[in-house]
Amino acid sequence: MDVGTSLQMYLTFGVVFLSIIAYSSDRIPLEISGLSTVASLLFIFTLFPLTDSTGASLITPRALLAGFADPALITIMALLVVGQGLVHTGALAGPAAMIVSMGRTSPRLVVVLCLTVVALTSAVLNNTPVVVMFIPILAALADRIGQSSAKVMMPLSFAAILGGNLTVIGSSTNLLAIGAYQLAGAPRVDFFEFTIPGLVLAAFGMVYVLFVAPRLLQDNGGMAKQLASSGGKQFLFQIEVADDSKLAGQISVAGLFPGLKDMTIRMIDRGRDRLLPPYDGVTLEPGDIILAAATRSVMTDLMNASPDIVSSAEGDDEDDEDGDRRVIAEAIVAPASRMDGRTLSMTGFRSETGCTVLGIQRRSRMIRAAISQLRIEAGDVLLVMGSRANVLGLRGNRDVILLESSADDVPMTKYSGRAGLIFAGVVLAASTGYLPISVTALIGAVLMLITGCLNVRQAGRAIDRRVFVIVGAALAMGTAMQATGGAQWLAHLVIEALSAAGPVVLLSGFFLLIAMMTNVLSNNATAVLFTPIAVSIAGELGVDPMPFLLAVIFGANCSFATPMSYQTNLLVMAPGHYRFNDFLRTGTPLIFICWLAFTMFVPWYYGLL
């Protein structure tokens, strides 16, 4: 290694070190840190070009920027769009509801079972489509049990990665390492060759993933997310029982009606009679007007199941001209509003704004009157629904103050069938290997758009720019590390330091080095880079090369400490609202758990002790 190469190698190490510090500090946005990393590498290799013996440049700007067009990155972006299509149409609401109902008495057990299924399935299927399939299910499950999605998304990714250690086809890392192993003249590796060691690592890791990791994770959704979901705030809604309604004929059981779960019935207006709680043996009749209190999410789910069940608070329902693309938002009645002291029908709110008032929140006192007859007061919070243009048009309305952060699209449940078919096609094609996952994911994203499951704006919101920048920067760092010989230099440095300590210590240190490197380089690059080194070490020591191959496979799969180290980490980053530091804090202990399990079991299992 000449002096020029050493200089560039050390400069690259400096950029990598500073990048990790910037990512983990959370003081600088990830987008700025990532772009600064790429700009620094471009500057270094322009000022100090790295050339071969013929004078040709080994690292060009095109090579450093190629990560932004990497098929893996395009796959991630496309899968995020496909997942958004499932969420927006509510395609997996049914399966999620079924899973929740199966374990309603023990929701945490349901989460544990789901993550266990993910780990086992990832042993025989590509773990990327497996994670894509379970993201919306676990998101809906977490929402229904009142838990933040941050508690389940990272464990979902980690469970899939651990499951990939069980068989030869568990991950692309395994296949690449085994391919390089056999090219070096090693014997064929059987399908279940390392299933037992993989189970040991997965067992230790899953204990941490299931019971410790969720305690280290917190919701980073922020105030906007809280406003959008409305938290535990309850609104008053008016429900009219029509002749053909599913509610007609339902009898209350212990004060609750089967079709109106998770809500409080304040009053039933039946002509001249007003029925007040407690309700015991009351039968709902056509024409009844029900005054119900419920959270926004509960009423949204109810409207998705029965679109016409919630009537307008103004008392006269009209067809929504733009009902295909509806948005729900919250608006506060402003002080000195002309709505103050009037009923909604008197204000002409819908005819003026094009928005329908679905519910009202008032904290001052208990309301036992039909909302259509209720006189509005300053400070009331109105839950409004309309087209996006009409809802955003409330910005200039002097009578109400729009809470823009609360605006959320109403799920397009009528497209749930086609979204489910598109998703199933993507998963099936990717799992069977009929088409590359990059191709199937992009086709799925396009189909979500052209079939109306998503519009361009919604698809754009699904693409996380942090993921885009951080992947491009990571691949640029990996390119620089490999071209300058930095990774090989570190490997030989560790080997020379530990060679005198015996094969067990050398094997343990080799695993830990690879586990650390895979979180900076890509896991596939790490596997290809270190497999020949593993075979060489085993040959010099005169021992079975299989334990050193497993050090490469299991170590390269320890992609837990950074989001860019593995595709599934990037997939859960947006739905879990994670920061770089969340992966560093939660994933690093898991690396050391896997290292300890490997060190204790693999040398004994292969007779190195």
List pLDDT tens digits, range 371-408.
777 888 888 888 888 888 888 888 888 888 888 666 77
Q: What is the reported pLDDT for 192?
A: 86
Q: What are the residue ranges in the chain where pLDDT is below 50?
A: 1-4, 222-231, 319-323
Q: How many CB atoms lie within 10 A of CB 236?
A: 24
Q: Give the integer Cα–Cα distance in Å for 561 and 581.
A: 9
Distance CA 34, CA 473 (A): 5
Angle at 557 between CA 556 and CA 558, to 5 degrees: 90
Taking only Cα atoms into account, the Rg of the chain, rounded to an integer number of angstroms, comes to 29
pTM equals 0.66
Q: What is the C-alpha to C-alpha distance for residues 484 and 534, in angstroms, rounded to an integer?
A: 20
What pLDDT is attached to residue 388? 81
Residues 186-196 as b or e (16 or more Cβ within 10 Å = b): beebeeebbbe
Tell me, what's the pLDDT at 514? Answer: 92
pLDDT, position 316: 56
Give the pLDDT confidence score for residue 566 in this predicted structure: 87
Q: What is the rounded distance in angstroms from the CA atom of residue 594 to the CA atom of residue 559?
A: 11
The burial of 316, by beta-carbon neighbours within 10 Å (0-12 exposed, 13-18 middle, 19 or more buried), is given as: exposed
pLDDT for 552 equals: 93
